[in-house]
Amino acid sequence: MQFKLFEKSVYTARRSVLKKNIENGLILFLGNEESSINYRDNWYPFRQDSTFLYYFGLNSAGLSALIDADSGDEIIFGNDLTIDDIVWTGPQPSVREMAAAVGVHNSAAANGLKTYINKALESKRKIHIIPPYRPENKIKIAGLLNITINEIDNQVSVPLIKAIVNQRSYKEACEVEEMDKASAISADMHMAAMYFAKPGMKEFEVVAKVKEVAFANHADISFSPIVTIHGETLHNVYSGNTIHEGQLLLCDAGASNDMQYAGDLTSTYPVGKKFTTQQKDVYGIVLNAHNTAVAMLKPGVLFRDVYYAAAQKIVEGMQSLGIMKGHAGEAVAAGAHALFFQCGLGHMIGLDVHDMEDLGEPYVGYNDVIKKSTQFGIKSLRLGRHLEPGFTLTVEPGVYCIPALMDQWKAERKFESFINYEALETLRNFGGIRVEEDFLITNTGAKLLGKKLPMTVAEIEAIRGA
Ligand SMILES: [Mn+2]
Q: Quick one: angle between helices 8-21 and 158-168, nearest 10?
A: 140
| CA 34, 36, 39, 43 torsion-angle sign | negative
* CA 30 – ligand 1 centroid, Å: 27
Q: Same structural domain for residues 147 and 253?
A: no
Query: Where residue 40 sits, what CATH number does that domain have?
Result: 3.40.350.10
Task: Work out the pLDDT band at 153, boundaries 50, 70, 90.
Answer: very high
75: closest CA among 139, 119, 34? 119
Q: Same structural domain for residues 51 and 114?
A: yes
What's the total number of domains in the chain?
Answer: 2
Q: Same structural domain for residues 129 and 150?
A: yes
Give the tens place of pLDDT for each residue, 50-93. Answer: 999 999 999 999 999 999 999 999 999 999 999 999 999 899 99
- What is the pTM (predicted TM-score) of this model? 0.97
**pLDDT score of 399 more than 90:** yes
* CA 18 – ligand 1 centroid, Å: 28
Give the tens place of pLDDT for each residue, 176-196. Answer: 999 999 999 999 999 999 999
* CA 59 – ligand 1 centroid, Å: 24
pLDDT, residue 237, reads: 85
* CA 263 – ligand 1 centroid, Å: 9
* CA 281 – ligand 1 centroid, Å: 23
* CA 252 – ligand 1 centroid, Å: 8
Kindly state the average pLDDT of the residues 329-344. 97
* CA 113 – ligand 1 centroid, Å: 37
Q: Of 168, 192, 207, which residue is a domain's last?
A: 168
Query: Beta strand 220-221 with 255-256: parallel, antiparallel or unpaired?
Result: antiparallel
pLDDT, residue 142, reads: 98
Task: Work out the pLDDT band at 422, boundaries 50, 70, 90.
Answer: very high
Q: Same structural domain for residues 267 and 388?
A: yes
Q: Same structural domain for residues 178 and 160?
A: no
Task: Work out the pLDDT band at 466, boundaries 50, 70, 90.
Answer: confident
Q: Same structural domain for residues 271 and 354?
A: yes
* CA 356 – ligand 1 centroid, Å: 14
Q: Of 123, 147, 168, which residue is a domain's last?
A: 168
CA atoms within 13 A on the CB side of 48: 25
Give the tens place of pLDDT for each residue, 242-273. Answer: 999 999 999 999 999 999 999 999 999 999 99
The answer to the question of residue 2 being in a domain is: no
Domain extent, residue 107, equals 8-168
* CA 344 – ligand 1 centroid, Å: 9
DSSP string for 389-442: TT-EEEE--EEE--HHHHHHHHHTTTTTTTB-HHHHGGGTT--EEE-BEEEEE-
Query: Where residue 451 sits, what CATH number does that domain have?
Result: 3.90.230.10
User: How would you write 206-241 as a 3-class SS string?
Assistant: HHHHHHHHHHHCCCEECCCCEEECCCCCCCCCCCCC
